[in-house]
Chain A
Protein backbone atom coordinates (compact mmCIF):
# COMPACT_ATOMS: atom_id res chain seq x y z
CA UNK A 1 0.00 0.00 0.00
CA UNK A 2 2.69 2.38 1.06
CA UNK A 3 5.21 0.87 -1.26
CA UNK A 4 2.71 1.18 -4.06
CA UNK A 5 2.96 4.95 -3.76
CA UNK A 6 6.65 4.97 -4.47
CA UNK A 7 6.47 5.18 -8.26
CA UNK A 8 9.32 7.17 -9.63
CA UNK A 9 11.14 7.19 -6.30
CA UNK A 10 13.76 4.64 -5.31
CA UNK A 11 12.53 2.23 -2.61
CA UNK A 12 15.68 2.61 -0.56
CA UNK A 13 17.53 5.86 -0.35
CA UNK A 14 21.00 4.69 0.60
CA UNK A 15 22.21 8.28 1.06
CA UNK A 16 19.62 8.70 3.85
CA UNK A 17 20.94 5.61 5.58
CA UNK A 18 24.57 6.80 5.37
CA UNK A 19 23.57 10.25 6.63
CA UNK A 20 21.79 8.72 9.64
CA UNK A 21 24.29 6.10 10.86
CA UNK A 22 24.65 7.88 14.21
CA UNK A 23 20.92 7.93 14.62
CA UNK A 24 20.64 4.26 13.69
CA UNK A 25 23.33 3.35 16.22
CA UNK A 26 21.57 5.32 18.97
CA UNK A 27 18.28 3.60 18.18
CA UNK A 28 20.03 0.23 18.18
CA UNK A 29 21.30 0.86 21.69
CA UNK A 30 17.86 1.98 22.75
CA UNK A 31 16.23 -1.10 21.26
CA UNK A 32 18.73 -3.43 22.89
CA UNK A 33 18.33 -1.65 26.23
CA UNK A 34 14.54 -1.78 26.15
CA UNK A 35 14.63 -5.48 25.25
CA UNK A 36 17.38 -6.30 27.75
CA UNK A 37 15.66 -4.59 30.67
CA UNK A 38 12.38 -6.32 29.83
CA UNK A 39 14.06 -9.73 29.70
CA UNK A 40 16.03 -9.24 32.90
CA UNK A 41 13.06 -8.04 34.95
CA UNK A 42 10.69 -10.43 33.21
CA UNK A 43 12.98 -13.35 34.02
CA UNK A 44 13.51 -12.28 37.63
CA UNK A 45 9.77 -11.90 38.24
CA UNK A 46 9.01 -15.15 36.40
CA UNK A 47 11.62 -17.03 38.40
CA UNK A 48 10.15 -15.76 41.65
CA UNK A 49 6.61 -16.65 40.62
CA UNK A 50 7.76 -20.04 39.30
CA UNK A 51 9.46 -20.88 42.58
CA UNK A 52 6.21 -20.00 44.31
CA UNK A 53 4.21 -22.14 41.89
CA UNK A 54 6.60 -25.10 42.30
CA UNK A 55 6.61 -24.83 46.08
CA UNK A 56 2.87 -24.27 46.36
CA UNK A 57 1.25 -26.05 43.45
CA UNK A 58 -2.13 -24.46 44.03
CA UNK A 59 -0.73 -21.06 43.07
CA UNK A 60 0.32 -22.25 39.61
CA UNK A 61 -3.14 -21.92 38.03
CA UNK A 62 -3.86 -18.39 39.29
CA UNK A 63 -0.35 -17.24 38.37
CA UNK A 64 -0.54 -18.49 34.80
CA UNK A 65 -4.11 -17.20 34.56
CA UNK A 66 -3.01 -13.66 35.37
CA UNK A 67 0.06 -13.92 33.15
CA UNK A 68 -2.15 -15.24 30.38
CA UNK A 69 -4.58 -12.39 30.84
CA UNK A 70 -1.76 -9.85 30.58
CA UNK A 71 -0.52 -11.60 27.48
CA UNK A 72 -3.88 -11.23 25.74
CA UNK A 73 -4.22 -7.47 26.28
CA UNK A 74 -3.43 -5.72 22.99
CA UNK A 75 -0.16 -3.86 23.45
CA UNK A 76 -1.53 -0.62 22.07
CA UNK A 77 -4.36 -0.66 24.58
CA UNK A 78 -2.03 -1.49 27.45
CA UNK A 79 0.34 1.40 26.73
CA UNK A 80 -2.55 3.79 26.27
CA UNK A 81 -4.01 2.65 29.56
CA UNK A 82 -0.71 3.16 31.41
CA UNK A 83 0.17 6.63 30.09
CA UNK A 84 -2.14 8.52 32.47
CA UNK A 85 -0.39 6.82 35.40
CA UNK A 86 3.22 6.61 34.38
CA UNK A 87 3.47 9.06 31.49
CA UNK A 88 5.38 8.71 28.23
CA UNK A 89 8.23 7.07 30.08
CA UNK A 90 10.61 4.17 30.00
CA UNK A 91 8.66 2.77 32.96
CA UNK A 92 5.46 2.65 30.92
CA UNK A 93 7.23 0.85 28.11
CA UNK A 94 8.86 -1.67 30.46
CA UNK A 95 5.68 -2.44 32.40
CA UNK A 96 4.14 -3.50 29.13
CA UNK A 97 7.18 -5.34 27.79
CA UNK A 98 7.82 -7.20 31.04
CA UNK A 99 4.14 -8.23 31.28
CA UNK A 100 4.31 -9.90 27.92
CA UNK A 101 7.33 -12.05 28.85
CA UNK A 102 5.79 -13.54 31.98
CA UNK A 103 3.51 -16.21 30.53
CA UNK A 104 6.15 -17.76 28.30
CA UNK A 105 8.90 -17.63 30.91
CA UNK A 106 6.84 -18.94 33.84
CA UNK A 107 5.49 -21.80 31.77
CA UNK A 108 8.93 -22.82 30.58
CA UNK A 109 10.60 -22.55 33.98
CA UNK A 110 7.92 -24.71 35.60
CA UNK A 111 7.87 -27.16 32.68
CA UNK A 112 11.67 -27.35 32.80
CA UNK A 113 11.68 -28.18 36.51
CA UNK A 114 8.81 -30.64 36.14
CA UNK A 115 10.56 -32.28 33.23
CA UNK A 116 13.47 -33.49 35.36
CA UNK A 117 13.38 -37.29 35.42
CA UNK A 118 11.87 -38.63 38.65
CA UNK A 119 14.63 -41.25 38.72
CA UNK A 120 17.30 -38.56 38.73
CA UNK A 121 15.56 -36.76 41.55
CA UNK A 122 15.08 -39.95 43.51
CA UNK A 123 18.76 -40.74 43.10
CA UNK A 124 19.64 -37.25 44.30
CA UNK A 125 17.55 -37.59 47.44
CA UNK A 126 18.70 -41.18 47.88
CA UNK A 127 22.30 -39.97 48.04
CA UNK A 128 21.51 -37.37 50.66
CA UNK A 129 20.67 -34.18 48.80
CA UNK A 130 18.48 -31.77 50.73
CA UNK A 131 15.49 -30.37 48.80
CA UNK A 132 17.09 -26.95 48.48
CA UNK A 133 20.38 -28.30 47.22
CA UNK A 134 18.67 -30.71 44.84
CA UNK A 135 16.74 -27.78 43.42
CA UNK A 136 19.76 -25.62 42.66
CA UNK A 137 22.27 -28.39 41.86
CA UNK A 138 20.08 -30.78 39.93
CA UNK A 139 16.66 -29.47 38.95
CA UNK A 140 17.65 -25.98 37.82
CA UNK A 141 20.65 -27.03 35.69
CA UNK A 142 18.58 -29.75 34.05
CA UNK A 143 15.81 -27.25 33.32
CA UNK A 144 18.21 -24.90 31.53
CA UNK A 145 17.45 -26.06 27.96
CA UNK A 146 13.69 -25.58 28.46
CA UNK A 147 14.13 -22.28 30.30
CA UNK A 148 16.44 -20.91 27.61
CA UNK A 149 13.98 -22.05 24.95
CA UNK A 150 11.45 -19.82 26.73
CA UNK A 151 13.92 -16.94 26.81
CA UNK A 152 14.47 -17.28 23.07
CA UNK A 153 10.77 -16.98 22.33
CA UNK A 154 10.37 -14.16 24.86
CA UNK A 155 13.31 -12.22 23.42
CA UNK A 156 12.06 -12.46 19.84
CA UNK A 157 8.58 -11.36 20.93
CA UNK A 158 9.97 -8.50 22.96
CA UNK A 159 12.19 -7.19 20.16
CA UNK A 160 9.06 -6.94 18.03
CA UNK A 161 6.99 -5.33 20.74
CA UNK A 162 9.60 -2.68 21.46
CA UNK A 163 8.75 -1.05 18.11
CA UNK A 164 5.22 -0.43 19.41
CA UNK A 165 6.59 1.62 22.29
CA UNK A 166 7.55 4.28 19.73
CA UNK A 167 3.96 5.46 20.22
CA UNK A 168 4.82 6.50 23.77
CA UNK A 169 8.09 8.13 22.86
CA UNK A 170 10.37 5.11 23.26
CA UNK A 171 10.64 2.47 20.64
CA UNK A 172 14.21 1.86 19.36
CA UNK A 173 13.84 1.01 15.68
CA UNK A 174 10.12 1.59 16.06
CA UNK A 175 10.83 5.30 15.95
CA UNK A 176 12.05 4.91 12.35
CA UNK A 177 8.95 2.98 11.38
CA UNK A 178 6.62 5.49 12.99
CA UNK A 179 8.36 8.49 11.45
CA UNK A 180 8.57 6.79 8.07
CA UNK A 181 4.84 6.14 8.13
CA UNK A 182 4.07 9.72 9.08
CA UNK A 183 6.34 11.16 6.42
CA UNK A 184 5.46 8.52 3.84
CA UNK A 185 9.15 7.69 3.54
CA UNK A 186 9.67 3.97 2.77
CA UNK A 187 13.42 3.93 3.40
CA UNK A 188 12.96 4.72 7.07
CA UNK A 189 10.18 2.13 7.44
CA UNK A 190 12.35 -0.52 5.84
CA UNK A 191 15.38 0.34 7.96
CA UNK A 192 13.30 0.08 11.15
CA UNK A 193 11.69 -3.18 10.10
CA UNK A 194 14.77 -4.96 8.74
CA UNK A 195 16.95 -3.99 11.68
CA UNK A 196 14.26 -5.09 14.12
CA UNK A 197 14.08 -8.50 12.47
CA UNK A 198 17.87 -8.76 12.46
CA UNK A 199 18.02 -7.87 16.13
CA UNK A 200 15.47 -10.59 16.91
CA UNK A 201 17.69 -13.08 15.11
CA UNK A 202 20.72 -11.84 17.05
CA UNK A 203 18.95 -12.31 20.38
CA UNK A 204 17.83 -15.78 19.33
CA UNK A 205 21.37 -16.80 18.39
CA UNK A 206 22.73 -15.27 21.58
CA UNK A 207 20.47 -17.41 23.74
CA UNK A 208 21.24 -20.45 21.64
CA UNK A 209 24.93 -19.87 22.43
CA UNK A 210 24.16 -19.35 26.10
CA UNK A 211 22.27 -22.64 26.15
CA UNK A 212 25.14 -24.49 24.50
CA UNK A 213 27.54 -23.08 27.07
CA UNK A 214 25.42 -23.72 30.15
CA UNK A 215 24.04 -27.09 29.08
CA UNK A 216 26.74 -28.78 27.00
CA UNK A 217 25.48 -32.16 28.17
CA UNK A 218 22.25 -31.65 26.25
CA UNK A 219 24.16 -31.67 22.97
CA UNK A 220 26.31 -34.76 23.43
CA UNK A 221 24.98 -38.19 22.64
CA UNK A 222 26.26 -41.70 22.20
CA UNK A 223 28.95 -41.63 19.57
Chain B
Protein backbone atom coordinates (compact mmCIF):
# COMPACT_ATOMS: atom_id res chain seq x y z
CA UNK B 1 0.00 0.00 0.00
CA UNK B 2 2.73 2.40 0.97
CA UNK B 3 4.30 2.59 -2.47
CA UNK B 4 1.14 3.99 -4.03
CA UNK B 5 1.09 7.69 -4.88
CA UNK B 6 0.34 10.00 -1.98
CA UNK B 7 -2.85 11.46 -3.35
CA UNK B 8 -5.07 9.87 -5.89
CA UNK B 9 -5.79 11.79 -9.04
CA UNK B 10 -8.85 9.67 -9.65
CA UNK B 11 -12.02 11.50 -8.67
CA UNK B 12 -14.49 9.71 -6.44
CA UNK B 13 -16.75 7.42 -8.41
CA UNK B 14 -20.11 8.62 -7.26
CA UNK B 15 -18.97 12.12 -6.45
CA UNK B 16 -21.35 13.71 -4.01
CA UNK B 17 -19.88 17.03 -3.03
CA UNK B 18 -21.25 17.10 0.48
CA UNK B 19 -20.12 13.62 1.52
CA UNK B 20 -17.00 14.16 3.64
CA UNK B 21 -16.47 10.48 4.27
CA UNK B 22 -17.58 7.76 1.92
CA UNK B 23 -17.21 4.02 2.27
CA UNK B 24 -17.84 2.06 -0.90
CA UNK B 25 -18.38 -1.69 -0.65
CA UNK B 26 -15.89 -1.95 2.19
CA UNK B 27 -15.16 -5.38 3.62
CA UNK B 28 -12.81 -6.61 6.29
CA UNK B 29 -11.96 -10.19 7.05
CA UNK B 30 -9.40 -10.64 9.78
CA UNK B 31 -6.65 -13.18 9.14
CA UNK B 32 -7.60 -16.58 10.52
CA UNK B 33 -11.28 -15.71 10.59
CA UNK B 34 -13.73 -17.29 8.17
CA UNK B 35 -16.54 -14.76 8.49
CA UNK B 36 -15.95 -11.13 7.59
CA UNK B 37 -16.09 -8.60 10.43
CA UNK B 38 -17.52 -6.09 7.97
CA UNK B 39 -19.22 -7.16 4.78
CA UNK B 40 -19.73 -4.96 1.73
CA UNK B 41 -20.52 -1.83 3.70
CA UNK B 42 -21.35 1.41 1.90
CA UNK B 43 -21.87 4.54 3.93
CA UNK B 44 -21.77 8.27 3.44
CA UNK B 45 -21.14 10.89 6.07
CA UNK B 46 -22.23 14.38 5.00
CA UNK B 47 -19.98 17.29 5.87
CA UNK B 48 -20.58 18.78 9.29
CA UNK B 49 -22.77 15.95 10.55
CA UNK B 50 -22.41 13.44 13.34
CA UNK B 51 -23.04 9.91 12.17
CA UNK B 52 -23.21 7.40 15.00
CA UNK B 53 -22.39 3.76 14.35
CA UNK B 54 -24.23 1.62 16.85
CA UNK B 55 -24.91 -2.07 17.25
CA UNK B 56 -24.28 -5.11 19.41
CA UNK B 57 -20.76 -6.37 20.01
CA UNK B 58 -19.33 -8.08 16.97
CA UNK B 59 -21.23 -5.78 14.61
CA UNK B 60 -18.00 -4.34 13.25
CA UNK B 61 -18.69 -0.75 14.29
CA UNK B 62 -15.23 -0.16 15.72
CA UNK B 63 -13.63 -2.03 12.82
CA UNK B 64 -15.50 0.23 10.43
CA UNK B 65 -14.32 3.35 12.27
CA UNK B 66 -10.71 2.19 12.34
CA UNK B 67 -10.75 1.47 8.63
CA UNK B 68 -11.44 5.13 7.96
CA UNK B 69 -8.03 6.11 9.39
CA UNK B 70 -6.57 2.74 8.42
CA UNK B 71 -5.63 1.62 11.89
CA UNK B 72 -7.29 -1.43 10.37
CA UNK B 73 -6.73 -2.05 6.67
CA UNK B 74 -9.85 -2.99 4.70
CA UNK B 75 -9.61 -6.17 2.65
CA UNK B 76 -11.81 -4.76 -0.09
CA UNK B 77 -13.56 -1.58 -1.08
CA UNK B 78 -12.79 2.12 -1.28
CA UNK B 79 -12.71 4.79 1.36
CA UNK B 80 -12.74 8.50 0.62
CA UNK B 81 -12.00 11.16 3.19
CA UNK B 82 -12.43 14.82 2.23
CA UNK B 83 -12.28 13.88 -1.45
CA UNK B 84 -9.03 11.96 -1.03
CA UNK B 85 -8.64 8.25 -1.60
CA UNK B 86 -7.71 7.09 1.89
CA UNK B 87 -6.44 3.73 0.69
CA UNK B 88 -3.97 5.39 -1.67
CA UNK B 89 -2.70 7.88 0.91
CA UNK B 90 0.24 7.23 3.22
CA UNK B 91 -1.38 6.28 6.54
CA UNK B 92 0.49 8.84 8.62
CA UNK B 93 -0.34 11.63 6.16
CA UNK B 94 -4.00 10.62 6.13
CA UNK B 95 -4.19 10.36 9.91
CA UNK B 96 -2.82 13.84 10.56
CA UNK B 97 -5.98 15.16 8.87
CA UNK B 98 -8.29 13.03 10.98
CA UNK B 99 -8.91 13.68 14.66
CA UNK B 100 -8.99 10.49 16.68
CA UNK B 101 -10.52 10.01 20.12
CA UNK B 102 -10.57 6.62 21.83
CA UNK B 103 -12.22 5.27 24.94
CA UNK B 104 -9.05 4.78 26.98
CA UNK B 105 -8.06 8.32 25.91
CA UNK B 106 -4.61 7.15 24.79
CA UNK B 107 -3.15 10.34 26.26
CA UNK B 108 0.63 10.29 26.48
CA UNK B 109 1.36 9.78 30.18
CA UNK B 110 4.80 11.35 29.81
CA UNK B 111 3.52 14.55 28.26
CA UNK B 112 1.68 17.39 29.96
CA UNK B 113 -1.83 18.35 28.92
CA UNK B 114 -0.43 21.16 26.76
CA UNK B 115 2.12 18.85 25.13
CA UNK B 116 -0.56 16.25 24.49
CA UNK B 117 -2.82 18.79 22.83
CA UNK B 118 0.12 20.03 20.73
CA UNK B 119 0.82 16.56 19.31
CA UNK B 120 -0.51 16.82 15.79
CA UNK B 121 0.51 20.45 15.19
CA UNK B 122 4.02 19.38 16.18
CA UNK B 123 3.92 16.44 13.79
CA UNK B 124 2.79 18.85 11.09
CA UNK B 125 5.70 21.14 11.88
CA UNK B 126 3.82 24.22 13.03
CA UNK B 127 5.97 26.96 14.51
CA UNK B 128 6.15 27.31 18.25
CA UNK B 129 4.01 30.45 18.76
CA UNK B 130 1.19 29.06 16.60
CA UNK B 131 1.20 25.83 18.59
CA UNK B 132 1.17 27.68 21.92
CA UNK B 133 -1.74 29.88 20.83
CA UNK B 134 -3.68 26.90 19.57
CA UNK B 135 -3.15 24.96 22.79
CA UNK B 136 -4.48 27.81 24.92
CA UNK B 137 -7.47 28.16 22.63
CA UNK B 138 -8.31 24.45 22.72
CA UNK B 139 -7.94 24.03 26.45
CA UNK B 140 -10.50 26.77 26.84
CA UNK B 141 -12.73 25.36 24.09
CA UNK B 142 -13.13 22.01 25.81
CA UNK B 143 -13.81 23.69 29.14
CA UNK B 144 -10.59 22.98 31.03
CA UNK B 145 -8.93 25.39 33.43
CA UNK B 146 -5.83 27.07 31.94
CA UNK B 147 -3.68 25.93 34.88
CA UNK B 148 -4.31 22.31 33.87
CA UNK B 149 -2.01 22.82 30.90
CA UNK B 150 1.07 21.83 32.87
CA UNK B 151 -0.41 18.75 34.53
CA UNK B 152 0.23 15.19 33.54
CA UNK B 153 -2.73 13.01 32.45
CA UNK B 154 -2.45 10.90 35.61
CA UNK B 155 -3.26 14.03 37.60
CA UNK B 156 -6.63 14.49 35.89
CA UNK B 157 -10.03 12.91 36.45
CA UNK B 158 -11.49 10.60 33.81
CA UNK B 159 -13.77 13.32 32.46
CA UNK B 160 -10.94 15.82 32.27
CA UNK B 161 -8.75 13.30 30.47
CA UNK B 162 -11.46 12.72 27.92
CA UNK B 163 -11.75 16.48 27.34
CA UNK B 164 -8.00 16.63 26.74
CA UNK B 165 -8.46 13.76 24.28
CA UNK B 166 -11.04 15.79 22.37
CA UNK B 167 -8.85 18.90 22.45
CA UNK B 168 -5.92 16.89 21.12
CA UNK B 169 -8.04 15.48 18.31
CA UNK B 170 -9.18 18.99 17.31
CA UNK B 171 -5.73 20.58 17.57
CA UNK B 172 -4.80 20.75 13.91
CA UNK B 173 -8.38 21.64 12.97
CA UNK B 174 -8.99 18.45 10.98
CA UNK B 175 -12.18 18.31 8.90
CA UNK B 176 -12.96 14.87 10.25
CA UNK B 177 -13.18 13.44 13.76
CA UNK B 178 -13.35 9.75 14.60
CA UNK B 179 -14.59 8.94 18.09
CA UNK B 180 -14.48 5.37 19.34
CA UNK B 181 -16.73 5.02 22.41
CA UNK B 182 -15.12 8.15 23.85
CA UNK B 183 -17.44 8.34 26.85
CA UNK B 184 -17.65 4.61 27.52
CA UNK B 185 -15.30 4.61 30.48
CA UNK B 186 -16.60 7.57 32.47
CA UNK B 187 -19.40 7.44 35.02
CA UNK B 188 -22.96 8.19 33.87
CA UNK B 189 -23.15 11.70 35.30
CA UNK B 190 -19.91 12.81 33.67
CA UNK B 191 -20.91 11.01 30.48
CA UNK B 192 -24.17 12.93 30.27
CA UNK B 193 -22.26 16.19 30.74
CA UNK B 194 -19.65 15.29 28.12
CA UNK B 195 -22.41 14.42 25.65
CA UNK B 196 -24.03 17.81 26.09
CA UNK B 197 -20.62 19.48 25.81
CA UNK B 198 -19.84 17.59 22.62
CA UNK B 199 -23.04 18.88 21.03
CA UNK B 200 -22.20 22.41 22.16
CA UNK B 201 -18.70 22.04 20.77
CA UNK B 202 -20.00 20.63 17.51
CA UNK B 203 -22.30 23.63 17.13
CA UNK B 204 -19.12 25.75 17.14
CA UNK B 205 -16.68 23.66 15.14
CA UNK B 206 -19.00 21.82 12.72
CA UNK B 207 -16.77 18.82 12.14
CA UNK B 208 -17.70 15.72 10.26
CA UNK B 209 -17.84 13.15 13.04
CA UNK B 210 -18.08 9.40 13.03
CA UNK B 211 -18.97 8.27 16.53
CA UNK B 212 -19.05 4.67 17.70
CA UNK B 213 -21.10 3.55 20.69
CA UNK B 214 -23.01 0.51 21.89
CA UNK B 215 -25.42 2.76 23.77
CA UNK B 216 -28.53 3.42 21.69
CA UNK B 217 -29.55 6.36 23.90
CA UNK B 218 -26.20 8.02 23.30
CA UNK B 219 -26.61 7.37 19.58
CA UNK B 220 -30.04 8.95 19.54
CA UNK B 221 -28.90 11.94 21.53
CA UNK B 222 -25.77 12.70 19.54
CA UNK B 223 -26.40 11.52 16.01
CA UNK B 224 -27.62 13.65 13.16
CA UNK B 225 -27.83 10.23 11.62
CA UNK B 226 -27.63 6.85 13.28
CA UNK B 227 -26.39 3.75 11.47
CA UNK B 228 -27.49 0.51 13.06
CA UNK B 229 -25.14 -2.36 12.32
CA UNK B 230 -25.75 -6.05 12.79
CA UNK B 231 -23.23 -8.81 13.47
CA UNK B 232 -20.81 -9.13 10.58
CA UNK B 233 -20.91 -5.46 9.74
CA UNK B 234 -24.28 -5.51 8.03
CA UNK B 235 -25.89 -2.10 7.82
CA UNK B 236 -29.50 -2.66 8.87
CA UNK B 237 -30.65 0.93 8.69
CA UNK B 238 -29.32 4.46 8.59
CA UNK B 239 -31.34 7.58 9.14
CA UNK B 240 -32.09 10.40 11.51
CA UNK B 241 -32.94 9.21 15.03
CA UNK B 242 -36.50 10.45 14.42
CA UNK B 243 -36.80 8.37 11.23
CA UNK B 244 -35.42 5.27 12.87
CA UNK B 245 -37.72 5.51 15.85
CA UNK B 246 -40.78 6.25 13.71
CA UNK B 247 -40.11 3.60 11.09
CA UNK B 248 -37.62 0.91 12.05
CA UNK B 249 -36.74 -0.98 8.87
CA UNK B 250 -37.01 -4.41 10.43
CA UNK B 251 -37.40 -6.48 13.55
CA UNK B 252 -33.70 -6.24 14.45
CA UNK B 253 -33.70 -2.44 14.36
CA UNK B 254 -36.96 -2.26 16.30
CA UNK B 255 -35.58 -4.56 18.97
CA UNK B 256 -32.30 -2.71 19.15
CA UNK B 257 -34.08 0.60 19.55
CA UNK B 258 -35.91 -0.87 22.53
CA UNK B 259 -39.48 -1.28 23.67
CA UNK B 260 -39.61 2.34 24.78
CA UNK B 261 -39.20 3.55 21.22
CA UNK B 262 -42.20 5.88 21.54
CA UNK B 263 -40.78 7.50 24.65
CA UNK B 264 -37.39 7.91 22.98
CA UNK B 265 -39.08 9.74 20.12
CA UNK B 266 -40.71 12.08 22.61
CA UNK B 267 -37.31 13.16 23.82
CA UNK B 268 -36.34 14.15 20.29
CA UNK B 269 -39.30 16.37 19.44
CA UNK B 270 -39.46 19.88 20.89
CA UNK B 271 -42.81 21.24 21.98
CA UNK B 272 -42.61 24.10 19.49
CA UNK B 273 -42.61 21.60 16.62
CA UNK B 274 -46.30 21.00 17.30
CA UNK B 275 -49.11 23.28 16.27
CA UNK B 276 -50.36 24.21 19.66
CA UNK B 277 -54.02 24.47 20.40
CA UNK B 278 -55.04 27.31 22.72
CA UNK B 279 -56.89 24.78 24.87
CA UNK B 280 -60.06 25.34 26.91
CA UNK B 281 -59.44 29.04 27.41
CA UNK B 282 -61.91 31.70 28.37
CA UNK B 283 -61.52 35.38 29.23
CA UNK B 284 -62.24 36.75 32.71
CA UNK B 285 -65.89 37.61 32.96
CA UNK B 286 -67.04 34.85 30.63
CA UNK B 287 -70.38 33.35 31.52
CA UNK B 288 -70.86 29.88 32.93
CA UNK B 289 -72.65 28.86 29.75
CA UNK B 290 -69.74 30.00 27.60
CA UNK B 291 -67.28 28.12 29.82
CA UNK B 292 -69.31 24.92 29.63
CA UNK B 293 -69.23 25.00 25.84
CA UNK B 294 -65.48 25.51 25.74
CA UNK B 295 -64.82 22.78 28.29
CA UNK B 296 -67.10 20.38 26.49
CA UNK B 297 -65.28 20.89 23.24
CA UNK B 298 -62.12 19.72 24.94
CA UNK B 299 -63.89 17.09 26.99
CA UNK B 300 -62.54 18.46 30.24
CA UNK B 301 -64.18 19.65 33.44
CA UNK B 302 -62.15 22.82 33.77
CA UNK B 303 -61.25 26.00 31.91
CA UNK B 304 -58.16 28.16 31.79
CA UNK B 305 -58.42 31.91 32.13
CA UNK B 306 -56.47 34.10 29.76
CA UNK B 307 -56.31 37.84 29.51
CA UNK B 308 -54.31 39.66 26.87
CA UNK B 309 -51.83 36.86 26.25
CA UNK B 310 -51.35 36.25 29.93
CA UNK B 311 -52.51 33.04 31.51
CA UNK B 312 -54.04 33.79 34.86
CA UNK B 313 -54.79 30.23 36.01
CA UNK B 314 -57.52 27.65 35.84
CA UNK B 315 -60.60 26.47 37.70
CA UNK B 316 -63.00 23.52 37.74
CA UNK B 317 -66.40 24.20 36.18
CA UNK B 318 -67.90 23.09 39.48
CA UNK B 319 -66.19 26.03 41.11
CA UNK B 320 -67.97 28.51 38.84
CA UNK B 321 -71.21 28.27 40.79
CA UNK B 322 -73.58 30.65 39.05
CA UNK B 323 -71.33 33.62 38.57
CA UNK B 324 -68.92 34.64 35.87
CA UNK B 325 -65.32 33.60 35.42
CA UNK B 326 -63.20 35.54 37.90
CA UNK B 327 -59.85 37.19 37.16
CA UNK B 328 -58.33 36.26 40.50
CA UNK B 329 -58.26 33.45 43.07
CA UNK B 330 -57.58 30.91 40.32
CA UNK B 331 -55.57 27.69 40.49
CA UNK B 332 -52.11 28.37 39.12
CA UNK B 333 -50.50 26.34 36.35
CA UNK B 334 -47.64 24.95 38.36
CA UNK B 335 -45.81 23.61 35.37
CA UNK B 336 -44.94 26.30 32.92
CA UNK B 337 -43.51 24.49 29.99
CA UNK B 338 -41.00 26.25 27.74
CA UNK B 339 -41.51 25.94 24.01
CA UNK B 340 -37.99 24.49 23.76
CA UNK B 341 -38.80 21.59 26.12
CA UNK B 342 -39.12 18.13 24.64
CA UNK B 343 -42.38 16.22 24.39
CA UNK B 344 -40.98 13.85 26.99
CA UNK B 345 -40.68 16.70 29.46
CA UNK B 346 -44.14 17.87 28.40
CA UNK B 347 -45.60 14.44 29.07
CA UNK B 348 -43.99 14.42 32.47
CA UNK B 349 -45.55 17.78 33.23
CA UNK B 350 -48.94 16.57 32.03
CA UNK B 351 -49.07 13.36 34.04
CA UNK B 352 -48.08 15.19 37.18
CA UNK B 353 -50.58 18.00 36.81
CA UNK B 354 -54.10 17.89 38.11
CA UNK B 355 -55.54 19.47 34.99
CA UNK B 356 -53.83 16.72 32.90
CA UNK B 357 -52.54 19.49 30.66
CA UNK B 358 -49.42 21.60 30.39
CA UNK B 359 -49.41 25.28 29.51
CA UNK B 360 -46.70 26.18 27.06
CA UNK B 361 -44.92 29.51 27.18
CA UNK B 362 -42.40 31.36 25.14
CA UNK B 363 -40.89 33.37 27.95
CA UNK B 364 -44.03 34.97 29.38
CA UNK B 365 -46.17 34.69 26.29
CA UNK B 366 -48.79 31.96 26.46
CA UNK B 367 -48.61 29.74 23.37
CA UNK B 368 -51.14 27.07 24.04
CA UNK B 369 -52.13 23.96 25.90
CA UNK B 370 -50.69 20.49 25.51
CA UNK B 371 -52.47 17.30 26.53
CA UNK B 372 -51.47 13.64 26.54
CA UNK B 373 -53.90 13.00 23.70
CA UNK B 374 -52.30 15.68 21.60
CA UNK B 375 -48.84 14.13 22.15
CA UNK B 376 -50.15 10.68 21.37
CA UNK B 377 -51.64 12.00 18.11
CA UNK B 378 -48.28 13.46 17.16
CA UNK B 379 -46.47 10.18 17.75
CA UNK B 380 -48.97 8.01 15.91
CA UNK B 381 -49.59 10.24 12.93
Contact A126 B155 (CB under 8 A): no
Tell yes or no: A119 within 8 A of B by CB.
yes
In whole angstroms, what is the CA distance A129 to B92 when docked?
6
- Chain A residues within 8 Å of B324, by CB: none
How many A-B residue pairs lie within 8 Å, measured between CB atoms?
83
- Chain B residues within 8 Å of A84, by CB: none
Which chain A residues in 172-223 approach chain B with CB under 8 Å? 215-218, 220-223
Tell yes or no: A77 within 8 A of B by CB.
no
Interface centre among A124, A144, A216, A221 (most CB of B within 10 A): A124
Binding site for A on B (CB under 8 A): 69, 71, 91-96, 98, 100, 102-111, 119-120, 123, 151-152, 154-157, 168-169, 178
- Chain A residues within 8 Å of B151, by CB: 220
Contact A129 B123 (CB under 8 A): yes
- Chain B residues within 8 Å of A61, by CB: none
- Chain B residues within 8 Å of A123, by CB: 100, 102, 105-108
| Partner pick for B155 among A129, A218, A220, CB 8 A cutoff | A220
Given A122-B71, A127-B119: A215 touches B110 (CB 8 Å cut-off): yes
Contact A220 B71 (CB under 8 A): no
Contact A142 B110 (CB under 8 A): yes
Contact A222 B154 (CB under 8 A): yes
Contact B155 A222 (CB under 8 A): yes
Tell yes or no: A125 within 8 A of B by CB.
yes
Binding site for B on A (CB under 8 A): 117, 119-130, 133, 138, 141-142, 144, 215-218, 220-223
In whole angstroms, what is the CA distance A133 to B108 when docked?
14
In whole angstroms, what is the CA distance A218 to B106 when docked?
16
Contact A221 B104 (CB under 8 A): no
- Chain B residues within 8 Å of A144, by CB: 110
Could you show 22 A-B contacts with beta carbons less than 8 Å apart?
A117-B104, A117-B109, A119-B104, A120-B108, A122-B106, A123-B100, A123-B105, A123-B107, A123-B108, A125-B91, A126-B69, A126-B98, A126-B178, A127-B95, A127-B100, A129-B123, A133-B123, A138-B110, A141-B110, A142-B109, A220-B151, A222-B154
Interface of A is mostly: helix
Name the residue on B nearest A145 (C-beta): B110
- Chain B residues within 8 Å of A215, by CB: 110
- Chain A residues within 8 Å of B106, by CB: 117, 119-124, 126
| Partner pick for A128 among B95, B107, B154, CB 8 A cutoff | B95
Besides the known contacts A125-B91, A222-B154, 11 further A-B residue pairs in the complex with CB atoms under 8 A apart: A119-B105, A123-B105, A123-B107, A124-B108, A128-B92, A217-B111, A217-B154, A218-B109, A218-B110, A220-B151, A220-B152
Contact B102 A122 (CB under 8 A): yes
Contact A128 B110 (CB under 8 A): no
Smallest Cβ distance from B96 to chain A, in angstroms? Answer: 4
Contact A127 B96 (CB under 8 A): yes
Contact A128 B152 (CB under 8 A): no
- Chain B residues within 8 Å of A126, by CB: 69, 71, 95, 98, 100, 102, 106, 178
